Structure 1
Amino acid sequence: MLARLLLLAAPLSVLALPSRPAAAKRTHERRSVLPHQWEEHADPHPDMRVPLRIALSQSNLDIAYDELLRVSDPESPDFASHWTAKQVAEFFAPSKDTLDTVVSWLEQEGIDPSRVKQTQSLGWLEVSNLTVTEAETLLDTKYKIYKHASGAPHLGCGSYSVPEHVSKHIDFITPTVHFDSRVNSPRQEKRKKRDVEPGIAKTIGQPWVGTTPKEGATVSAASIITELEECGSQITPICLQALYKMPFDVQFATSKNSYGIVEYTPQSYLPTDLDMFFEQFLPQASGKRPTMDSIDGGNIQTEYEGFGYNGESDLDLQYAMSLVWPLTPTLYQAGDMVEGASFNNFLDAIDGTYCTYDGGDDPTQDGVYPDPYGGGYEGPETCGGYAATNVISTSYAYNEADLTPFYETRQCNEYLKLGLQGVSILYSSGDYGVAGNDGECLNADGTYSYDGIRFNPSFPGTCPYMTSVGATQVKPNGTVFEAEEASETVIYSGGGFSNVFAMPSYQSSAVKYYFENYLPPYTSAQYNNSQTTRGFPDVSANGANYVVAIDGEFELVYGTSCSSPTFGSVITLVNDARLAVGKNPVGFLNPTLYANPWMFNDITVGGNQGCGTAGFTSVPGWDPVTGLGTPDYTLLVAKYLTLP
């Protein structure tokens, strides 16, 4: 891959740039430190082609949040009056002034208009056949080849500049300062050993990186609990149904309802594990499978087995399918065994315009399809074609520090657009308390360290347009008839405050109350204590001691990977009740949840230690450990049925 990157195609002659007065430029984006596990490797060839893509500033983003509230605020007469995809695309399309300004700047820099193409979605400009020398002159920067610890290369720079009058019309430019951490999948390792150039794999697609479940003890079928009084040692579907007062199989609108679970190859479920679980807990579901939406060659791979390959998918599907029975959830299986997949690849599949306006085709960020090196999925990239389900749960996450604010903001805006269309987006909040994935924290300069003292919040959990789900547990020796506590068994509920996103209005009073009454004993050296940024998680659900069938055995599993699909199941059942009486799905959840905290079981015991501290503490009301608390289905459905 590195050789391919250095010698891409035949060298192009550098176009002579006309002499002209230089426009004053200002820094548009900068990285002070390299992302975790990346290092500078080499200088690129001056004539190497740069796939330059310019993300144009979208229209109406200044009022987009107000529009989201209009269809999500429980006091709004337009609650649940969701938009169509066409309405969303037209509302956010860049203005003519933005397009003209950026194209004019490129022409002034000596780039012929014939080399500039606006994407079909209107949100990007692509500049063809640009060399490194041209790109460096255009952006007043110096490109380098960077290399990840896995061996994957990346073309980028430390900062770049554009004229001040152009800056407000551009969100960001790639490839520049944006990196995604990535590791090789098993097949990529085989390729590497055979001296075959590997494709670009993604952290998201690898089950051993990020917010994934943690393995516990193996239990025999004979020892699995059957009494609710024993849920403190094992969690089964009936424990969750009792904890959150969920109905068992009484549903009225399954034909209208939908629930999506997102997985990333090589993570996949084993059909025999589903049957083993259902035979134990839901015999009538034996032989049932989720509806499969294959994204970019996503498949139920059986070449590799083990907890790391089957644990997440087995967990998510066994519990989601059990809790919303007889509804059949949709499985969004993203990426093949070679290229992998990213959040962007998934978003491409449910929003065809996203392929071209937010990095879906950027080889430095996402899986590239058809596989340019052979051996992987060679069909076309999945752009649209799959409907977004009413509720979508994802149990993977980056650290906020892995990506740049511009990149995160633009992806976060896509969750806003899905909310406008009536989709409830859920993400796990993390399993390492206030630390990031794998327990790593931040040093003062932003670098990663297990000894760092600065908290490391997750993304997309800090995006204000989706619902972040933390983890609780039944108290040791307790029962489902008692209050839970924050998870402190094997994992600690991820939570804290963003370093990127401002506090949304829907949570301002809850967070204000928290700081006024339970001010944490930390300074700005540990976390963003400005009291003006997004707090997470929003809610929680049980995340400890789940009994899951994995590779032919029952095992105990832990993590917010358990919490998110469980909470998503509760909301799916609420949607069922609304659809049955002719109402729309609930859509973006947070404004209604924060306005009605009485719908939750408040969690007031436990913390989320990390980064050499005790972390935050669960207290009455919202807190950055368990959010508003755990759901009470009966209260949620009663409230949502009163709304338009």
Structure 2
Amino acid sequence: MRVSSFLALAALVASAVSSPATPYVVHEKRTSIPTPWQKRDRLSGETKMPLRIGLRQRNMEHTARFLKEVSDPKSPNYGKHWSQEKVAETFAPSDDTIQRVRNWLTASGVEEDRISLTKGKNWIHVKSTVDEAERLLKTQYYIYEHDESGQPHVGCDKYYSLPYDVSPHVDLVMPTLHFDAKVMSREQYLTKRSDRIPITPGKPKEKSIGKGYHRVSPKQGATLASGALADDLALCDQQIVPACLRSLYNIPESNSTTSAANNSYGIVEYTPQAYLPEDLDMFFANFSPKLVGARPTFQSIDGGVLQTDQVDFSYMGESDLDLEYAMVLSYPQNVTLYQVGDTVNGASFNNFLDAIDGSYCEYEGGDDLQQDPQYPDTSGAEGAYTGPKDCGTFEPAKVISTSYGYDEVALTAPYEERQCEEYAKLGLQGVSILYSSGDYGVAGNYGQCVDSDSGSLFYNDGTSGSFVPGFPATCPFVTAVGATQVIPGTNIAEARASGTQPEKACETRIYSGAGFSNVFPMPDYQAETVKGWWDKGLAGTYTEKQFNNSQSTRGLPDISANGANYVVAVVGEYNLVYGTSASSPVFGAMITKINDARLEAGKASLGFLNPSFYANPAMFRDVVEGSAPGCGTDGFAAVEGWDPVTGLGTPEFPAMLEYYMGLD
């Protein structure tokens, strides 16, 4: 799990910054600033800037083994998930770790009353100034500005250091090198960039949703009149509706009106994304009349609100898509909507994780120049959430689908590893975590690629560059879901009757997010399958300049589901919608239905899915057509067996249900 960070740390010891009293080592560094951020002014030394120190947790080197014991179908402990208390106790930092970091701080002149330990003992919070932070970390802090929006971000320059005897006890310090920056409201965003030249002239610029510049967002297609909606399965290559998905994957329509009492399905959305109730009813009236009037169970996290100040596709498209299909396909299971962040600060994945796991919480209170938005929000702005920070307030659902993500290169390895560990902890508790793999093939957010010489991101204009995988999809403890489409001209009923695959890798409006991580090693459950891909020589002529071809890192996606031509009711109109934003919640609905059957039979929820997927790939229908181009290349191609475009293929629901019902 931590191979990359340990090797990086060892390699950097030689560049240690030291003094006779306290030798330091570089703890984290970056080679370039992610596009389109620009370094501006130094921060004033008197500026208040609380530091958060993520403490090294115990037993993290055993995480993969622990998770395998409860998620590998060959294990005698399959399905014997851990309690949240056992998880917290197993991974809490040692007393020695806590004390070493405290001793360093106090010896450096930080008074005890400015040092606090979080409830989960995972983070130490230090009330500090920029001057003090720079002295403690041997670095310099700057204001960075986002070229398009004018959005400011605070971070240190190139690297920061820690005492050599403290560094092994710390995962990361924030804020430092990470560009998971807050975003403005749309009005502020448009005002700021009204006099700026778009980076890609002639193309509409996609707006950031929630916190940071996310990788996955649905793409809007043609608007359809109600009378133009297809009701013939022969037209599923042009319009995807629930009946098409049931036919594609043999998903039965439930006649029951109740589900297992302890089953649950959660969809995560980040403000200002919101759904419109009338859109749900418009969709349900056409495709599931029994659901008219039904609403997801609303869970407001850190001031999450269903805003209606901005009402258009860019604000409602994601939530309407996710909920309309998740609710129809998982019926009679009610869907929980985790709405995260207020309309001022937005939110990050860490805000959501705080809310469902109190031991993960960084600290309570505070609103300053931080990496993740802090609550209560003391900005005084209209709409700011001033209530208490949600810390372990909500129960995690059995299945959680998220259609958002970041470029792996925009965050540091320790940041990603620490968050990935939290997904492993959720898997230990019987939670299935699904993430969309991305919509730009082997390229990153908005088609960005990396200059292989400088390490800088640039917007792809046909120039060859290094591929950019997305995070958290690259985390080996989540299930990464790619996208397919019905092959044009294909009647899916006829294709299924003849035993042929009616789908190919998605190549309409989007390309399935694909490739190999630059951070995470290849997990054991994937090794044999992915080795088969490498053994066939399918990497083509690409070299280490294009992607991590070490044959030792995590490949994605794991599986795929349809992501093209979805009919979605958005702001009173039907639109065709495209993206892995559709694939993930649809697949999550299938896992939810399997959980329901298992729970009714007295069995455990599925929890972490990947080991059982790779152990029984016959549950999926192989995809052998299409590709995932990007960065001036054709990218990778869908081929026989697992491939870094569509993974193991598309689900066969009856085969999955039979397999999982046969497990204890």
Q: CA deviation at 1:568?
A: 0.4
Q: CA RMSD in A?
A: 2.1
Report the Cα distance in structure 1 between the residues aligned to 2:477 and 2:161, rounded to whole angstroms. Answer: 30
Report the Cα distance in structure 2 between the residues aligned to 1:530 and 1:604, rounded to whole angstroms. Answer: 24
- Where in structure 2 are the equivalents of 1:412-491 lying within 5 Å? 412-444=420-452, 445-449=454-458, 450=460, 451-481=463-493, 482=495, 483=501, 484-491=503-510
Equivalent position SS for 2:554: strand
- Which residue identity lines up with residue 515 of structure 1 in the other structure? W
- Which residue identity lines up with residue 238 of structure 1 in the other structure? A
2:618 corresponding residue in structure 1: 598
Instruction: Spell out, residue by residue over 1:456-489, the C-alpha distance to the aligned partner (whole angstroms, 9 max, x if none).
Output: 1000000000000000011001022431110011
Identify if the C-alpha distance between structure 1 residues 363 and 414 changes in structure 2 by more than 3 Å, giving closer, same or farther.
Answer: farther
Equivalent position SS for 1:608: strand
1:237 corresponding residue in structure 2: 242
Report the Cα distance in structure 1 between the residues aligned to 2:162 and 2:67, rounded to whole angstroms. Answer: 32
Q: TM-score, normalised by structure 1?
A: 0.92
Report the Cα distance in structure 1 between the residues aligned to 2:474 and 2:364, rounded to whole angstroms. Answer: 19
2:401 corresponding residue in structure 1: 393
Q: CA deviation at 1:407?
A: 0.4
Report the Cα distance in structure 2 between the residues aligned to 1:295 and 1:112, rounded to whole angstroms. Answer: 33
Report the Cα distance in structure 2 between the residues aligned to 1:268 and 1:134, rounded to whole angstroms. Answer: 41
Report the Cα distance in structure 2 between the residues aligned to 1:298 and 1:553, rounded to whole angstroms. Answer: 25
Instruction: Spell out, residue by residue over 1:403-449, the C-alpha distance to the aligned partner (whole angstroms, 9 max, x if none).
Output: 11010100111100100111000000001100011111111122111
Q: CA deviation at 1:385?
A: 1.6
The answer to whether the 8 Å contact 1:182/1:203 transfers is: no
The answer to whether the 8 Å contact 2:473/2:480 transfers is: yes
Q: Which moved more, 1:251-260 or 1:227-236?
A: 251-260
2:13 corresponding residue in structure 1: none
Structure 1: 5+ residue stretches without partners = 1-19, 194-201
Q: CA deviation at 1:186?
A: 2.7
Identify if the C-alpha distance between structure 1 residues 301 and 518 changes in structure 2 by more than 3 Å, giving closer, same or farther.
Answer: same
The answer to whether the 8 Å contact 1:207/1:309 transfers is: no
- Which residue identity lines up with residue 477 of structure 2 in the other structure? Y
Q: Which moved more, 1:435-444 or 1:33-42?
A: 33-42
Report the Cα distance in structure 2 between the residues aligned to 1:133 and 1:296, rounded to whole angstroms. Answer: 31
Q: CA deviation at 1:204?
A: 4.9
Is it true that 1:589 corresponds to 2:595 in the alignment? no
Identify if the C-alpha distance between structure 1 residues 505 and 408 changes in structure 2 by more than 3 Å, giving closer, same or farther.
Answer: same
2:306 corresponding residue in structure 1: 300
1:403 corresponding residue in structure 2: 411
Instruction: Spell out, residue by residue over 1:165-197, the C-alpha distance to the aligned partner (whole angstroms, 9 max, x if none).
Output: 22111111112222214431135559989xxxx
Match of 2:146 among 148, 156, 159: 148
1:311 corresponding residue in structure 2: 317
- Where in structure 2 are the equivalents of 1:544-559 lying within 5 Å? 544-559=564-579
Identify if the C-alpha distance between structure 1 residues 488 and 341 changes in structure 2 by more than 3 Å, giving closer, same or farther.
Answer: same
Structure 2: 5+ residue stretches without partners = 1-18, 194-206, 496-500
1:248 corresponding residue in structure 2: 253
Identify if the C-alpha distance between structure 1 residues 250 and 516 changes in structure 2 by more than 3 Å, giving closer, same or farther.
Answer: farther
2:600 corresponding residue in structure 1: 580
1:138 corresponding residue in structure 2: 136
Report the Cα distance in structure 1 between the residues aligned to 2:261 and 2:83, rounded to whole angstroms. Answer: 21
1:383 corresponding residue in structure 2: 391
Is it true that 1:328 corresponds to 2:331 in the alignment? no
Match of 2:518 among 469, 482, 499: 499
Is it true that 1:173 corresponds to 2:134 in the alignment? no
- Which residue identity lines up with residue 217 of structure 1 in the other structure? A
The answer to whether the 8 Å contact 2:366/2:376 transfers is: no
Equivalent position SS for 1:609: strand
The answer to whether the 8 Å contact 2:142/2:154 transfers is: yes
Q: CA deviation at 1:223?
A: 2.2
Instruction: Spell out, residue by residue over 1:7-45, the C-alpha distance to the aligned partner (whole angstroms, 9 max, x if none).
Output: xxxxxxxxxxxxx94221111111111122222221222
Q: TM-score, normalised by structure 2?
A: 0.89
The answer to whether the 8 Å contact 1:204/1:397 transfers is: no
Match of 1:350 among 346, 356, 363: 356
Identify if the C-alpha distance between structure 1 residues 54 and 310 changes in structure 2 by more than 3 Å, giving closer, same or farther.
Answer: same
Report the Cα distance in structure 2 between the residues aligned to 1:208 and 1:106, rounded to whole angstroms. Answer: 34
Q: CA deviation at 1:226?
A: 1.5
The answer to whether the 8 Å contact 1:37/1:181 transfers is: no
2:6 corresponding residue in structure 1: none
The answer to whether the 8 Å contact 2:311/2:571 transfers is: yes
Instruction: Spell out, residue by residue over 1:201-240, the C-alpha distance to the aligned partner (whole angstroms, 9 max, x if none).
Output: x955179853111111122222212222221111110110
Q: CA deviation at 1:132?
A: 2.5
Report the Cα distance in structure 2 between the residues aligned to 1:123 and 1:594, rounded to whole angstroms. Answer: 33
Report the Cα distance in structure 2 between the residues aligned to 1:495 and 1:254, rounded to whole angstroms. Answer: 35
Report the Cα distance in structure 2 between the residues aligned to 1:569 and 1:530, rounded to whole angstroms. Answer: 35
Equivalent position SS for 2:635: coil
Equivalent position SS for 1:615: strand
2:9 corresponding residue in structure 1: none
The answer to whether the 8 Å contact 1:204/1:210 transfers is: no
- Which residue identity lines up with residue 252 of structure 2 in the other structure? P
Report the Cα distance in structure 1 between the residues aligned to 2:139 and 2:212, rounded to whole angstroms. Answer: 36
2:288 corresponding residue in structure 1: 282
Equivalent position SS for 1:83: coil
- Where in structure 2 are the equivalents of 1:82-161 lying within 5 Å? 82-128=81-127, 130-149=128-147, 150-157=149-156, 158-161=158-161
Q: CA deviation at 1:262?
A: 0.8
Instruction: Spell out, residue by residue over 1:326-348, the C-alpha distance to the aligned partner (whole angstroms, 9 max, x if none).
Output: 22100111112111111111111
Report the Cα distance in structure 2 between the residues aligned to 1:517 and 1:192, rounded to whole angstroms. Answer: 50
Q: CA deviation at 1:320?
A: 0.6
Report the Cα distance in structure 1 between the residues aligned to 2:228 and 2:451, rounded to whole angstroms. Answer: 46
Report the Cα distance in structure 2 between the residues aligned to 1:490 and 1:247, rounded to whole angstroms. Answer: 29
- Which residue identity lines up with residue 643 of structure 1 in the other structure? L
Identify if the C-alpha distance between structure 1 residues 617 and 359 changes in structure 2 by more than 3 Å, giving closer, same or farther.
Answer: farther
- Where in structure 2 are the equivalents of 1:73-88 lying within 5 Å? 73-88=72-87
Report the Cα distance in structure 2 between the residues aligned to 1:362 and 1:343, rounded to whole angstroms. Answer: 18
Instruction: Spell out, residue by residue over 1:148-174, the C-alpha distance to the aligned partner (whole angstroms, 9 max, x if none).
Output: 333333332121111222211111111
Is it true that 1:205 corresponds to 2:210 in the alignment? yes
Report the Cα distance in structure 2 between the residues aligned to 1:399 and 1:519, rounded to whole angstroms. Answer: 24
- Which residue identity lines up with residue 239 of structure 1 in the other structure? C
Is it true that 1:215 corresponds to 2:220 in the alignment? yes
- Which residue identity lines up with residue 135 of structure 1 in the other structure? A
- Which residue identity lines up with residue 447 of structure 1 in the other structure? S
The answer to whether the 8 Å contact 1:547/1:556 transfers is: yes
Equivalent position SS for 1:331: strand
The answer to whether the 8 Å contact 2:367/2:378 transfers is: no
- Where in structure 2 are the equivalents of 1:34-45 lying within 5 Å? 34-45=33-44
Q: CA deviation at 1:368?
A: 2.5
Identity %: 54
Q: CA deviation at 1:145?
A: 2.5
Misfit runs of 4+, over 6 Å: 190-193, 357-362
